[in-house]
Amino acid sequence: MIKKTNKKVKKYLSLVKFSHTIFAMPFALIGYFLALHQTESEFEWKLFLFVILCMVFARNAAMAFNRFIDREIDIKNPRTAIREIPAGIIKAKSALLFVIINSILFFVTTYFINTLTFRLSPVALLIILGYSLTKKFTALCHLILGLGLSLAPIGAYLAVTGEFALLPVLYSFVVLLWVSGFDIIYALQDLDFDKEEELKSFPVFFGKKGALSASTLLHIFTALIVVFAGYFGQFGILYWIGSFIFIGLLFYQHTLVKPNDLSRVNLAFFTTNGIASIIFAAFTVTELILDIWF
């Protein structure tokens, strides 16, 4: 019984690519501890847990919905045909039920945080679920994916304060531009397939070179906002160390991918960006905690 349960859990963790949580979760932590730092609120384990659960439930719903919506496309694409639904590992109806359950859990969790987060929760869910439909009609789908993940820092900040502020919004823009940029790189893998299926993306619209140039431009703006946020927030040395590493890794990924060589796309997409996110958050959160305590 336990073995069957573990296998089932592993299947659903694979369905939602749970390991990819490292992209947005660190920025949610930045938003949370930034709120504590700016408002001098006390750390509460219950609220902290609710923030983490909101992230998990929302992302589970978004990823499972994406797999459900794309199931007929995925089965045609050799790269994605091995995914859980097209491969028959998880039934489409089961995936949809998983989406519904996680959406409900997300709403319930926001209810126990504060009124503002609860009222905004349908908007947040609409954005993160809506992304799955965008590739069929707009090349801006990468930006909409970025918008969905960008809700992490401002959402965590609102959970603590119940109010908007400029600094967490700046970090939301960091996530939006950063994620959009590396998703464009990732989409290069499916350029030929997307053209055949008449799907929309930056690589389809601009070609390989144009898409890589657009990704670079988005990451330049990402770096500029990281620097501006540091000056605006009057951060110290730890933040700048983390920022330097983050920006360095941001542009390192562009040395890995060339229009005529996509062999290292996964290294650029997952490994480099995952490390960048964790390092930036680790240095930033550490500085915020040290300022709170001392």
Q: Could you read off the pLDDT tens digit of each residue along the chain, which spans 294 residues?
A: 566 667 778 888 788 777 778 889 999 999 999 999 999 788 999 999 999 999 999 999 999 999 999 999 999 999 999 999 999 999 999 999 999 999 999 999 999 999 999 999 999 999 999 999 999 999 999 999 999 999 999 999 999 999 999 999 999 999 999 999 999 999 999 999 999 999 999 999 999 999 999 999 999 999 999 999 999 999 999 999 999 999 999 999 999 988 888 888 887 778 889 999 999 999 999 999 998 887
pLDDT in tens, 58-78: 999 999 999 999 999 999 999
Residues 6+ away with beta carbon under 8 Å from 274: 20, 22, 23
Question: Do 58 and 123 touch, CB atoms closer than 8 A?
Answer: no
pLDDT value of residue 262:
83
Rounded to whole angstroms, how far apart are CA atoms 271 and 275?
Answer: 6
- Report the percentage of the chain scoring pLDDT > 70: 98
Question: Do 278 and 22 touch, CB atoms closer than 8 A?
Answer: yes
Buried b (16+ CB within 10 A) or exposed e, 131-141: bbebbeeebbb
Residues 6+ away with beta carbon under 8 Å from 94: none
Identify which of 49, 37, 51 has the alpha carbon closest to the alpha carbon of residue 153. 51
Question: Do 60 and 98 touch, CB atoms closer than 8 A?
Answer: yes
Residues 6+ away with beta carbon under 8 Å from 27: 149, 152, 153, 171, 174, 175, 277, 281
φ and ψ at residue 107, rounded to 5 degrees: -60, -45
Domains, the chain, with CATH or none:
10-293 (1.10.357.140)
Rounded to whole angstroms, how far apart are CA atoms 38 and 214?
Answer: 35
pLDDT value of residue 9:
81
- Report the percentage of the chain scoring pLDDT > 90: 83
Cα 59 versus chain centre, distance: 8
pLDDT in tens, 236-270: 999 999 999 999 999 999 999 888 888 888 877 78
Identify which of 224, 249, 225, 243 has the alpha carbon closest to the alpha carbon of residue 284. 243
Rounded to whole angstroms, how far apart are CA atoms 217 and 277?
Answer: 19
Angle at 153 between CA 151 and CA 159, to 5 degrees: 90
Question: Do 142 and 202 touch, CB atoms closer than 8 A?
Answer: yes
pLDDT value of residue 98:
95
One DSSP character per residue, 230-250 reads HHHTT--HHHHHHHHHHHHHH
φ and ψ at residue 200, rounded to 5 degrees: -105, 140
Identify which of 95, 96, 121, 116 has the alpha carbon closest to the alpha carbon of residue 106. 121
Q: Tell if the pTM clears 0.75, that is, is over it.
A: yes
